[in-house]
Amino acid sequence: MLKGKTVLLGITGGIAAYKSASLASLLVKAGANVRALMTENAKNFINPITFEALTGHKCVSDTFDRNFEFQVEHVALAKEADAVIIAPATANVIAKLAHGIADDMLTTTVLACRCPKIIVPAMNTAMYENPVTQDNIEWLRHYGMEIVRPANGHLACGDTGAGKMPEPESLIEYVYKSSAFPKDMEGMKVLVTAGPTQEGIDPVRYITNHSSGKMGYSIARVCMLRGASVTLVTGKTALKPPMFVDVVPVVTAKDMYEAVVLRSGEMDIIIKAAAVADYRPRYAAEEKVKKSDGQMTIELERTDDILGYLGAHKKAGQFLCGFSMETENMIENSRIKLEKKHLDLIVANNLKVQGAGFETDTNVVTLIGTDIQEELPIMEKEKVAGCIIDRILKMKET
Ligand SMILES: Cc1cc2nc3c(=O)[nH]c(=O)nc-3n(C[C@H](O)[C@H](O)[C@H](O)COP(=O)(O)O)c2cc1C
């Protein structure tokens, strides 16, 4: 996801510096060209060789190092950078950055950078909560830097409280958000539904379907990474919710319907990727199930038609995208749904095609609009999500 991007990883003299090695490794695995910069004090916590081995580049810390190749190194690095992340950021370096002090390679380079900057404060709780540090952090925010909130927990100094550096797996999400994609959805509000719904039969059993939520979650994440403000209304799934997305958990089709109706009016784009259970037991819990001689009879009724509601209440300029899962006559049935529900786009998949549908990591879809029909090859769901969004943005333009 970071192919072709240069990420400057700043490491300062905090105990969490050992975790920065994992972050460097994750960034490299994500395709980034990683340039590590350390303060002199950081070298007391971790050896620069670790970063040199992981990134394949010299780890720089001396502004006046004579062993460079022609360019003024701090300016050259700053020009090359697509993102800067300082993890951990000591109270000392935060104070320096807040006041434009550039007395070493790291602070000088950051001052020369125009790209997004992510600061990850990590320190003892008293140092973090000290009004001086808080004021300095506020200044960094004021200057447009992204500040990662430290985690609460047991700190190396023995105290328990705020100040712990979050794990590298969540820190890399900040880098993705800052620079993985152009922000072509900035200012847009997107509602995505995902996952299955569950309709209780009795306190033990429920009706549901095989939806894993992967397609909807991928769409929500890609929209967020492209700058949209995203709300994800999701049934129960085994997936970790995407960061920086407003997640609304629901269980039944009725919950999902109500959550969507409440929020749909303010949205620019609505993508219904959830697989809502079509039917629910008709009566109150005790009456709806009849059991005799090993037989169970359940009287069913249809659940609320979420797409139907959205199509009927579409506001001017709002874009509505649905999904259709077919086993036969995919194009014909999807076109009927497109018209009947007043959709702008329908993403159709044939469940009989290998690599398509519910529980796989890939999907094979055809995008269908009134004037378009585009068959996409098999792709990972995050790539499919990108193609769906590209198509939506193109259609919204015209
Ligand atoms: C064992 C030890 C652990 C430290 N951990 C932290 C820390 O987590 N966060 C912090 O802000 N300072 C910490 N310090 C203090 C910094 O190392 C000190 O302020 C230093 O001047 C920071 O230098 P730098 O910001 O140039 O890297 C620690 C010091 C020691 C001796």
**Ligand 1 contact via 234 beta carbon (within 6 Å):** no
* Bigger pLDDT: 159 vs 176: 176
Alpha carbon of 17 to ligand 1 centroid (Å)? 10
Q: What's the pLDDT tens digit per position in 275-328?
A: 888 888 886 555 666 777 778 888 888 999 999 999 999 999 999 999 998 888
Catalytic residue among 115, 157, 321, 387: 157
Structure tokens at 193: 């539904």
Alpha carbon of 13 to ligand 1 centroid (Å)? 5
Alpha carbon of 155 to ligand 1 centroid (Å)? 13
* Sign of the torsion angle spanned by Cα atoms 121, 122, 123, 128: positive
Across 167-173, average pLDDT: 97
**Ligand 1 contact via 91 beta carbon (within 6 Å):** yes
Q: What is the band of 69 on the pLDDT scale with cuts at 50, 70, 90?
A: low
**Model confidence at 181: pLDDT above 50:** yes
Q: What is the band of 139 on the pLDDT scale with cuts at 50, 70, 90?
A: very high
**Model confidence at 74: pLDDT above 90:** no
pTM for the model stands at 0.91
Q: What is the band of 187 on the pLDDT scale with cuts at 50, 70, 90?
A: very high
* Bigger pLDDT: 140 vs 275: 140
Q: What is the band of 71 on the pLDDT scale with cuts at 50, 70, 90?
A: low
Across 267-272, average pLDDT: 97
pLDDT of residue 70: 47
Q: What is the band of 392 on the pLDDT scale with cuts at 50, 70, 90?
A: very high
**Ligand 1 contact via 42 beta carbon (within 6 Å):** yes
**Ligand 1 contact via 166 beta carbon (within 6 Å):** no
* Bigger pLDDT: 47 vs 70: 47
**Model confidence at 127: pLDDT above 50:** yes
Max mean pLDDT among 180-184, 325-329, 358-362 falls in 180-184
**Ligand 1 contact via 59 beta carbon (within 6 Å):** no
In this structure, the residue with its CA closest to atom 16 of ligand 1 is 13
Q: What's the pLDDT tens digit per position in 143-153?
A: 999 999 999 98
Alpha carbon of 92 to ligand 1 centroid (Å)? 8
**Ligand 1 contact via 15 beta carbon (within 6 Å):** yes
pLDDT of residue 128: 96
Provide the mean pLDDT of the chain.
92
Are β-strands 83-89 and 33-38 bridged in parallel, bridged antiparallel, or unpaired?
Answer: unpaired
Q: Are 308 and 341 in contact (CB under 8 A)?
A: yes
Q: Report domain 189-397's class.
A: alpha beta
CATH value of 6-179 in 2.40.40.20, 3.40.50.720, 3.40.50.1950, 3.30.2130.30: 3.40.50.1950
Percent of the chain, pLDDT > 90?
75
**Ligand 1 contact via 94 beta carbon (within 6 Å):** no
**Ligand 1 contact via 10 beta carbon (within 6 Å):** no
189-397 matches 6-179 in CATH topology = yes
Q: What is the band of 9 on the pLDDT scale with cuts at 50, 70, 90?
A: very high
pLDDT of residue 357: 65
* Bigger pLDDT: 279 vs 182: 182
Q: Are 322 and 331 in contact (CB under 8 A)?
A: no
Calpha distance 177→190 (Å, rounded): 16
Q: Where are the domains of the chain?
A: 6-179, 189-397
Calpha distance 213→211 (Å, rounded): 6
pLDDT of residue 284: 57
Alpha carbon of 84 to ligand 1 centroid (Å)? 20
* Sign of the torsion angle spanned by Cα atoms 350, 354, 360, 362: negative
> Partners of 83 in the beta sheet?
7
In this structure, the residue with its CA closest to atom 7 of ligand 1 is 14
Alpha carbon of 86 to ligand 1 centroid (Å)? 14
CA distances from residue 327 to 59, 269, 281, 334 in whole angstroms, order as listed: 56, 28, 25, 11
**Ligand 1 contact via 121 beta carbon (within 6 Å):** no
Ligand 1 nearest-atom number relative to CA 89 = 11
pLDDT of residue 278: 84
Alpha carbon of 22 to ligand 1 centroid (Å)? 20
Q: What is the band of 135 on the pLDDT scale with cuts at 50, 70, 90?
A: very high
Pocket test for ligand 1, best of 86, 92, 103, 157 (most atoms within 8 A of CB): 92
**Phi and psi at residue 177, to the nearest 5°:** -60, -40
Cα(first)–Cα(last) distance of the chain, in Å? 29
**157 a catalytic residue:** yes
Ligand 1 nearest-atom number relative to CA 106 = 26
pLDDT of residue 158: 82
